[in-house]
Structure formats: C-alpha cells, structure tokens
Chains A and B, each alone.
Chain A
Amino acid sequence: MIRLYNLRKIYRTGQVETTAIANANLRIDPGEFVAITGPSGSGKTTLLTILGLLDSPTEGQYYFLDEEVSKLTEKRRADLRRRNIGFVFQNFNLINQLTAYENIELPLLHMGIASSQRKDMVMAVMDKLRITTRRNHYPQQLSGGQQQRVAVARAVVGNQRVILADEPTGNLDSRNGEEVMELLARLNEDGTTVVMVTHSTEYASWANRVVQLFDGHVTNENILEGKRSVSELS
C-alpha cells in the first residue's frame, strides 16, 4: 500500500539546511497498524505529512497504491488524498464554525456524494462511534474525547483506506485516550490501514509494528507479536 525508497526531506531556511528525513525506506501493507515513535525532532511528523500527501519529499520515491506520487501536482494529490486518506490530529482540527455533523460531512461534500447518501453515511459513522446525540453540537461544546471521536468519524466517513493519526491521544486523559485507541483498533480490524505517530510506548503497543525514528533515520522496526486488540479488551 505504501512504499518508500531512499526518501529524504530537507528544509532550507536561508543558509541553514535541516535534514528532517534521511534515507528512509519503509513498506506498509494493507490492513497493517503501524506506530511511528521517536524523540521530539526525529522527523515523525514530517514523515506523516509526506505519507499524507501534504508535502513532497526532496529526494527518493514514494509509491502510494502502487503509484509513484512524489512528483504529482497539488490537484492530483488532493484527489488521491480525498478518496483514500483520513487524518486524525492531536488538536482535533475541527472547523469551529461547523457542527459535529457538518464537520463529518465535509469530506463527502468534496467527493461530490449526493445529499441523501451523504446523510446515510454520516449517520452510520456517527452511530458506529456513538456520537449521534452530539450531531448538532459545535466543537467548542464537546469534550476533548468527543471532539477526537468526531475527528475520527470525519477521517473514515468516506471509507478511506488509510488513517494517518498524529498523536491522537496527546490532548486526552487516559480514559478518553484508551477509547480513541480502541476506535482505531476496531477500524483496523475492519480492514483500514492505520499509521499512528506517538510518543507513548503504551499506545504504541496497540500496533502490530513499531517503526522507530532517530534524527530522520529509521533505526528499528519491531513486529509486535503480542499486539493488543479490541477482542482482548472486551
């Protein structure tokens, strides 16, 4: 699903060059749950923006769904992103002027799905994530956990194949954090590929593979045999 070959990302600010990703090689298959960990400044977020087609690498190749995407136009990347990738952020990134329902509906609008079908899809995902009662609330009227659930709903409402999550539990207390992890795991079990950046080894243990970054290099890849799962919880 995702393959990176010799990927480099260099930022230039005036005379200063900073290598954010150095020579990364990575392969993520459909249905995997991958956690990316590493200290601050190790390049986790940069890697996620490249995987999410929000930024292009300076060098190297990136195959997304077997298509080389590192040199695609902004418009083409937007198309690919819209259909295939859902994002979940540490700070939720919901639009404050729209209700929970309207926030979730947003990707469907951009996909051009008809109104009645949109309604069905949004209601289905809200139901699945148990936020139906909050449909008319604005983000600032919701708790952190509820906001993140809305964000997750938005990420999967269009049946996206990959979820890219950047510290999805970072702003949540442990109970809410657990709940969000549980959601991601359940989605993964249903077939969605999940790539999650996290600091926490505890949350990383939900993944079936952990990729460690240090100063822009992939230093270690561990396959977790004893992965936690939703069935285990229940």
Chain B
Amino acid sequence: MKTFWKGRGVFRSYLKTIFRNISGSKIYFFINVAGLCIGFTIFTLIVLYVLNELNYDTFNKKADRIYRVVELQKSPGGQVQRVAITMPALGPALQSEFPEIASTVRLIPWPTVLCHSGDRRFYENKLTFADSTIFDIFTFHFIEGNEAKALNDPYSVVIDQTTAARYFGKQNPIGKFITVDADFGQNAFQVTGVVQDFPRNSHLTFNMIASLNTLQNKNSPFIGWADNDVVTYILLNRANRFESVQRKLPEFMATNLPTDLWKGLEIYMQPLKDIHLYSGEILYQVNHNMGNIDTVRLFSLIAFFVIFLACINFVNLTTARSTIRAREVGIRKLLGSYHSHLIYQFIGESIVISFVALLLSLPLVEAFLPTFNSMMRGRIIVSYDNQLPFLLGLCAVALVVGLVAGIYPAFYLSSFRSADLLKGRFGSSKRGILLRKILTTLQFAIAIGLVTATIIVIMQMNFIYDKPLGFNKRGLMYIPLRDTKSRSKIPVLREKLLEDPNILAVSAGELTGSGTTQGKISVPGPGGGSLRIVRESFVDYGYVQTMGMKIVEGRSFSRDRLSDSSSVVVNETMANSFSWKDPIGKKIETANGPTFMIIGVIKDFNYFSLREKVDPLVMWLHPNRCQYLLIRLASRGRSSSIRYVKTTWNALLPSHPFEYSFLSNYLDKQYGSERESEHLLIMFSLVAVLVACLGLFGLTMHTTEQRIKEIGIRKVLGASIADIVLMLSRETIWLVLIACMAAWPVAYYFMARWLNGFAYRIDLTPLTFISSGVLVFTIAMLTLSFQAINAGLSNPAKALRYE
C-alpha cells in the first residue's frame, strides 16, 4: 500500500512536469505530435488496405481446402505460360481418381449478355455457368430455394438479391423465368434459388449462376478434353492432403490426358487464399479486382517508414533539447529519484505523446478514408463488426511506437548526473550529436529513396501510356456486340454509319487485336511439328485499316476475294517463330481439321498490358464471332457523330440498349492497378518528405536557438546574412549528400526489379537519381533557410544582451 501511495504521488508529479513541459515548448510538442499523427494516419489507412487485401476469399468457410487448378503450358520454344482455364473433363476425372478430393466445380464466366424478364431488360456481366457442386464448395447464403437441387436441371438459374429485385421487384422470383440472349440462342432460365449478394472481397463475382449442364449437349465445346475453356476448383477432404494430391498430379496427367492434344501440359493447385494476390502471371483468369503482393509489401514498407520517420523526429528533438531537461533530471536524482524512475518518466512521456497522436489521427483517418478508398477503386471495406480488435491493435502499435521513440531519450536523459548540477556543466554530449546526425541522414535517405522510386514509377507509367502500341488508340469508338442478332447487323451498320462524313472507317473484331481465347494450330506436311498454342483473333473486313494497324507483307482480308474465308493473317512474331522467310502462301491447320492459307503478315502490336511480350497470333475472318463494332471517328464533330451512331443503332436494333466507349479509356483501365499504385506512391512519398522536413524544421529551430550567441558574435565581427545561412546549412548539405549515397543503390536495386516486370521499360539513368537528390535537398534547404535567414537578420546586440 505504501509503495502504491508513493508511486502515485511521484507519478502525479511526473505528469505535472510532462504537461507543463509541453505547454512551455508548444512548437516542439506540435512537431512531435504532428509527425506521429501523420504517421499513424498513413499507417492506419495502409493497414486497412493491407488487411482487406489479405482477407480476400476468406469468408468462404472451407477456404483452407479450396484450390484452383492452373495449367502450365510449355511451348516448343521453351516459353512457359500459366493459364487458369482447363479442359472440361479434368474436374470430374480428378474427383474420380483422387479419394482426397471431396468435390470439384467447373465455372464458365459468360461474356456480357442481354437478359430480360417481361419488360425489364438488362445487360448482365456477372452470369456464370457452374456445376451444382458450387454451393458445396463456396459459401453462399440461400434466402429462397433448395441449395442441394438448385442447379440440377438444365436451364436453371440462381440469382442474388439485388438481381432478384431488379427483375421481379417484391415478387417471389422462384419459378419465374429470365431469358438470356446468348450465342447459343435465346433461352429462358427458371429461377430456382435466391442467395444473398456475394461479398465484394472475393476474386469471383456472381449475380446469376446458371446450370452448367445447359451447355453440355453433344457437340458442345464444354465437354471432353479437346477444349480449354472452364475454370476448375477443387475441394479437398482435409487441408493437409494438398501435398499428396499435388505429388500425384503429373502421373495423373500422363495417364488421363490425350497427349497428341496437350503435349507438355502440367497442372498444379493454387490455394484459394493466394488467388487474389499471387496471380499476376496467370492468363485467362477470372480475378475480380486482382491485387498484387508486391504492392501490398511496398505499402506495408511505406507504413513502417512513415512511422519510423516520425519516431526519428521524436528521438532527435528530445535528445537535442535534453539540456533543457537535464536540470530537472539532476534535481530529481538529487532528491532521491532512482535512475529507473526517471526512465519510466521519460518513456511514459513518449507513450503519452504517442497516444495523443493516435487519438488525433483517428478523425483524420475517417476524413481521408473516402478519398483513399476512391483511389483504391472502392476496395476497402471497413467492417464495423470487429472494430475493437482493430482499435486494440492500433493501441498496441502506439504503445510500441512510444517505447521505441522513448527508450533512447529515456536512457540518455536519465543518465545525466546530479553532481553536474553543482558544477553547472550540462551540454549536448558528442554521442547525442552523432546519433542525431545518423538519424537525420537515415531520414533523408528514406525520403530520397521514396522520391526516387516515385519518379521512376511516374516515368515508366508515362512511357507505357505514350508507347506506340501498333494501332491508333485515339478516336476509336466501340460498341459491344453481345449476340448473334447484333452481329448479323454489322454489314448494314457499316453501310449506314459511313454516310456520316466524320466517320472514317467501320469494322468489327477484338478491341486490342486479341480476345481471351487460345487456339492450337500445326503446319501440315513434313517438318510441321506438333500442335502449337497461338492467340486467336476473329475480325471482319476492314479491321486492319480501322484499327490503324500495319500490314508488313501480303495483304489484309478483302471482300472481293471469296477465298478469304479460308485465309488468315498472322503477326510478325508468329512468322518468326516458324522461321518462315516468305510466310505468304504458307498453310496452317487447326486442331479440328480445316486448313488455312496465310495471306498477310501484320506488324506486331500489343494486345495486353505492356508487362507482356507479344505472342504468336492468328487472325481469322469470322464476323459472327466479333465482340465489338469498331468506329473510327474524325477529330471534328465527334459529338454529332456519336449522336448519329446512336440513332442508327437504335433504328436497327431497337431491343438492344445502346452503349459505347472509347478505346483509349479501355486501355487506361488496363493499367488501373499501376495507376493506383502510382497515385498512392506519390502521396506517401510526399508525406514521408513532409514528416522528415518537420523534424528538420524542429532541429534547425533548436540549433538556431542554441547558436544565437555565436551568430551574434559572428555578425558583430562582420559576417553577412549569406555567411550565417551557409553556416547553419553546411551540415545539412553534407547529410543530404551522404543520404543520397546510401539511398541510391537501394532504390536502384528495387526499382530495377520492379521494371523487370514490364516487357517494355525505361532505362535507369543517373539523371533520375540525381534529380531525386536535388529535389529533397531543395525542400530541406527551403525548410532550413526560413530560420537561417531569420537568424541572419536578427539584431546581434539583442542576442548578446540576452545571453
């Protein structure tokens, strides 16, 4: 009891000095709190983002046991690509072969289709065909209907609540019909179930799930081993069976797969929880809002950096101002305070400041969350169900930050000896000064590193946006062709649209030259070799001209030659991969029989993101499989042309809602995730530089206060303002130089690695690095010069009198 009383009294006295100290040096307190507060705000925002990214798909109750099948395709040239589509027969074969596999499901995400029920018509882009086992594997919450039977029959569909409300309002949807205008015809699907909307943090998104057996008639591409077009998921009996199944997969493939079709094909299982963040290299995948583990790591690092920078400010300012506290320490020790008590006092003080900063950061987080979230394309879902653990986590972080920031100053300050009180010699020790220099250099190094990374990201992204893609992306309008009816209107649409003088060309085909399908071809005759995987592109007449692509040899498809329906155009990579000297007139054969003649070679163009190299591509004349109507507009009179296109479309296809966009917008979206990282990186680097400068500001202010007498004497002796400014900034110049030397190699290493992820990239030049150094240096000098100039302008007599 006695110690409690004793502790309480001493503690109160410490608290009093802490708070009175704070009010006596508001500006330093502000710098410490503001730095930490900014640190916590950024930290909390990033943690929300990181948690959100790491928790993708975890709402599935069986998430630990669910895997996606990924194929590893090896081309004869030794290139390897991963694809997340498989043969339709694979799933059932795996299940019958492996007792460890509890269930499998095949999904076929369908391209956007027009659906209607009564007079309600909508384009649906989240329609998926699936085996009935989908409900055993993924977690759905049924509101209506029987989960076990819902997808047993062909032409059944399970819809989510929002969709149900859209088509049927408040009526019970069970037993009602939704008509789907798909490629395979217009079919009515009966609603057999209604589920709660699927969570947003899922790599799969559904709003309509139709029975897969609807598509599996005799000639369907969705049965057997010949095609590669379904996504397969596996549910294991137990999570620890992963190794044993994975080990037996090569043998399974060797015995089950028709080798003539799929030579060199391997499969592996990708855990469900990895799909969101670890799928960057996988092609042909459904991955809603795909994330990137590198971005998650980068941002985590930044979160750490920003807090670390604020901690450095704290340590620097506290130790720099230690002379002011030294007397208090001496007196307390003299009066019988233990060394340990003083350590507690100073650590306590830093923990208090840390918590004040945390508290102030919470409203800031609330305020910035919407902006941050819109930069992340609305990805972050702050759940208010489990706020307590999150807040406790933040408190733990604040505690750790308080300890880390306070521990050195605590030992440093408490080590002052009370004997020095009698001798009146308190000064900054050499140790303290050296530490401050090291920490300040570290701050600059981090700031320079981040600024360098930001400059490189901006340069690379600009390079990508401006790189010639091999087609003209400006002024190209497109309209999705979602069914056979709209495709059948291509010729008449073209004829009508070309009547507008501002419409330069009209065609149909893929948006960027290639769709998302692969085909297999071989070259007939001796030396032709086995089947090769190539990209397929289905186009209409005039495609090459409308897209602004270039024919390097031969010609494009022509209406005047009937034989062109059995001709193909290939890209340069394709011609090179077969080492053809004269590709024109060469024959290729598709897997299911027909032979085609090459009539032209097209200059390589980029169809996916510039992260990927160009693959061999074959272009078929196939208007019935064209996905988009493409319209090249003149730069003048665009809005009237768009109005004209709309009127024409509505007249020819009154039942099809008019929708359009521009190719440049589509391409920008391709780099959405990079754009996102770019914006955030810029923001975070700015914050890091701001926090570092805040510390520098405080330190300079302190140094200037300490050297006020020296400045006075120098001025009396004839020093100019410039001399004083130089004197006060000389050290900073050195520190920035050393920081550059430390930061540049590290930044070079990481940014070179990042750039390697792009097939087309900028070269790193010394100028990039120098400019980041100059930028940080300039900001530091601006921070400094304010006080340095003030000190230079001050009246020396005043400084000397008050000493």
Residues on A close to B: CB < 8 A?
45, 48-49, 52, 54-55, 74-75, 78-79, 81-83, 87, 89, 91, 93-98, 102, 105-112, 114-115, 118, 154, 166
CB-CB under 8 A from B6, the residues of chain A are 109-112
Residue B20 CB within 8 A of the other chain? yes
Q: A45-B422, A49-B422, A110-B336 are in contact. Are A115 and B9 (CB under 8 A)?
A: yes
Question: Contact: B336 with A54, CB < 8 Å?
Answer: no
Question: Contact: B421 with A89, CB < 8 Å?
Answer: yes
Write the nearest CB–CB distance from B341 to chain A, whole angstroms: 8
CB-CB under 8 A from A114, the residues of chain B are 5
Rounded to whole angstroms, the CA-CA distance of A114 and B328 in the bound complex is 23
Question: Contact: A95 with B5, CB < 8 Å?
Answer: no
Write the nearest CB–CB distance from A6 to chain B, whole angstroms: 21
19 contacts between A and B (CB under 8 A): A49-B423, A75-B338, A78-B337, A78-B338, A93-B330, A97-B20, A98-B16, A98-B17, A106-B331, A107-B336, A109-B10, A109-B13, A110-B10, A110-B335, A112-B5, A115-B5, A118-B9, A154-B335, A166-B422
Rounded to whole angstroms, the CA-CA distance of A106 and B16 in the bound complex is 12
Write the nearest CB–CB distance from B9 to chain A, whole angstroms: 4
Question: Contact: A89 with B422, CB < 8 Å?
Answer: yes
With both beta carbons as reference points, the residue of chain A lying nearest to B336 in the complex is identified as: A82
CB-CB under 8 A from B338, the residues of chain A are 75, 78
CB-CB under 8 A from B20, the residues of chain A are 97-98
Q: A110-B10, A114-B5 are in contact. Are A95 and B419 (CB under 8 A)?
A: no
Q: A97-B21, A98-B16, A98-B17 are in contact. Are A111 and B423 (CB under 8 A)?
A: no
Question: Contact: A74 with B339, CB < 8 Å?
Answer: yes
The 10 closest A-B pairs by CB, nearest first: A82-B336, A112-B6, A97-B20, A110-B336, A54-B419, A109-B9, A49-B419, A55-B419, A107-B335, A97-B17
CB-CB under 8 A from A102, the residues of chain B are 13, 16
- Category for how many chain B residues contact A: 20 to 34
Rounded to whole angstroms, the CA-CA distance of A82 and B331 in the bound complex is 12
CB-CB under 8 A from B52, the residues of chain A are none
Residue B218 CB within 8 A of the other chain? no
Write the nearest CB–CB distance from A116 to chain B, whole angstroms: 11
CB-CB under 8 A from B423, the residues of chain A are 45, 49
CB-CB under 8 A from A106, the residues of chain B are 13, 331-332, 335
B residues 317-342 in Cβ contact with A at 8 Å:
327-328, 330-339
Rounded to whole angstroms, the CA-CA distance of A56 and B439 in the bound complex is 35
CB-CB under 8 A from B163, the residues of chain A are none
Write the nearest CB–CB distance from A88 to chain B, whole angstroms: 11
Q: Mark B402-439, 1 if CB is under 8 A from A, else 0.
A: 00000000000000011101111000000000000000
Q: A102-B13, A106-B13, A115-B9 are in contact. Are A95 and B331 (CB under 8 A)?
A: yes
Q: Which of B332, B334, B337, B339 contacts A54 (CB 8 A)?
A: B334
Residue B2 CB within 8 A of the other chain? yes
B residues 297-331 in Cβ contact with A at 8 Å:
327-328, 330-331
Q: A95-B331, A97-B21 are in contact. Are A110 and B337 (CB under 8 A)?
A: yes
Rounded to whole angstroms, the CA-CA distance of A115 and B20 in the bound complex is 21
With both beta carbons as reference points, the residue of chain A lying nearest to B1 in the complex is identified as: A114
Residue of A55, A87, A94, A112 ringed by the most chain B CB atoms within 10 A: A112
Write the nearest CB–CB distance from A199 to chain B, whole angstroms: 15
Question: Contact: A97 with B339, CB < 8 Å?
Answer: no
Question: Contact: B328 with A95, CB < 8 Å?
Answer: yes
CB-CB under 8 A from B9, the residues of chain A are 108-109, 112, 115, 118
Given A48-B422, A78-B333, 20 extra CB contacts under 8 A = A45-B422, A54-B334, A54-B418, A55-B417, A75-B339, A78-B336, A78-B337, A93-B327, A93-B330, A93-B331, A97-B20, A97-B21, A98-B13, A98-B17, A106-B13, A107-B335, A110-B6, A110-B336, A112-B2, A112-B5
Question: Contact: A54 with B13, CB < 8 Å?
Answer: no
CB-CB under 8 A from B417, the residues of chain A are 54-55
Q: Which of B16, B330, B336 contacts A81 (CB 8 A)?
A: B336
B residues 1-35 in Cβ contact with A at 8 Å:
2-3, 5-6, 9-10, 13, 16-17, 20-21, 24
CB-CB under 8 A from B2, the residues of chain A are 112
Rounded to whole angstroms, the CA-CA distance of A207 and B16 in the bound complex is 39
Question: Contact: A82 with B17, CB < 8 Å?
Answer: no
Write the nearest CB–CB distance from A208 to chain B, whole angstroms: 24
Q: A102-B16, A112-B3, A115-B5 are in contact. Are A82 and B419 (CB under 8 A)?
A: no
CB-CB under 8 A from B327, the residues of chain A are 93, 95
CB-CB under 8 A from A111, the residues of chain B are 6, 336
CB-CB under 8 A from A93, the residues of chain B are 327, 330-331, 334, 421
Rounded to whole angstroms, the CA-CA distance of A132 and B714 in the bound complex is 47
CB-CB under 8 A from A89, the residues of chain B are 421-422
CB-CB under 8 A from A109, the residues of chain B are 6, 9-10, 13
With both beta carbons as reference points, the residue of chain B lying nearest to A82 in the complex is identified as: B336
With both beta carbons as reference points, the residue of chain A lying nearest to B18 in the complex is identified as: A97
Question: Contact: A79 with B336, CB < 8 Å?
Answer: yes
Question: Contact: B418 with A95, CB < 8 Å?
Answer: no
CB-CB under 8 A from A105, the residues of chain B are 13
Rounded to whole angstroms, the CA-CA distance of A102 and B337 in the bound complex is 15
With both beta carbons as reference points, the residue of chain B lying nearest to A166 in the complex is identified as: B422
B residues 574-593 in Cβ contact with A at 8 Å:
none
Write the nearest CB–CB distance from A87 to chain B, whole angstroms: 6
Write the nearest CB–CB distance from B408 to chain A, whole angstroms: 20
Rounded to whole angstroms, the CA-CA distance of A75 and B333 in the bound complex is 10
Write the nearest CB–CB distance from B796 to chain A, whole angstroms: 26
Rounded to whole angstroms, the CA-CA distance of A98 and B422 in the bound complex is 20
CB-CB under 8 A from B330, the residues of chain A are 93
Q: A93-B330, A112-B5 are in contact. Are A82 and B422 (CB under 8 A)?
A: no
Rounded to whole angstroms, the CA-CA distance of A74 and B336 in the bound complex is 10
CB-CB under 8 A from B21, the residues of chain A are 97
CB-CB under 8 A from A82, the residues of chain B are 335-336
With both beta carbons as reference points, the residue of chain A lying nearest to B5 in the complex is identified as: A114
Rounded to whole angstroms, the CA-CA distance of A231 and B89 in the bound complex is 116
CB-CB under 8 A from A74, the residues of chain B are 339
Q: A81-B334, A110-B336 are in contact. Are A97 and B16 (CB under 8 A)?
A: yes
Rounded to whole angstroms, the CA-CA distance of A110 and B340 in the bound complex is 13
Question: Contact: B328 with A97, CB < 8 Å?
Answer: yes
With both beta carbons as reference points, the residue of chain B lying nearest to A151 in the complex is identified as: B331
Residue of A78, A93, A106, A109 ringed by the most chain B CB atoms within 10 A: A109
CB-CB under 8 A from A83, the residues of chain B are 336
With both beta carbons as reference points, the residue of chain A lying nearest to B418 in the complex is identified as: A54
Write the nearest CB–CB distance from B417 to chain A, whole angstroms: 7
Rounded to whole angstroms, the CA-CA distance of A7 and B456 in the bound complex is 69
CB-CB under 8 A from A48, the residues of chain B are 422
Write the nearest CB–CB distance from B418 to chain A, whole angstroms: 5
Residue of B10, B24, B417, B418 ringed by the most chain A CB atoms within 10 A: B418
Rounded to whole angstroms, the CA-CA distance of A110 and B327 in the bound complex is 17
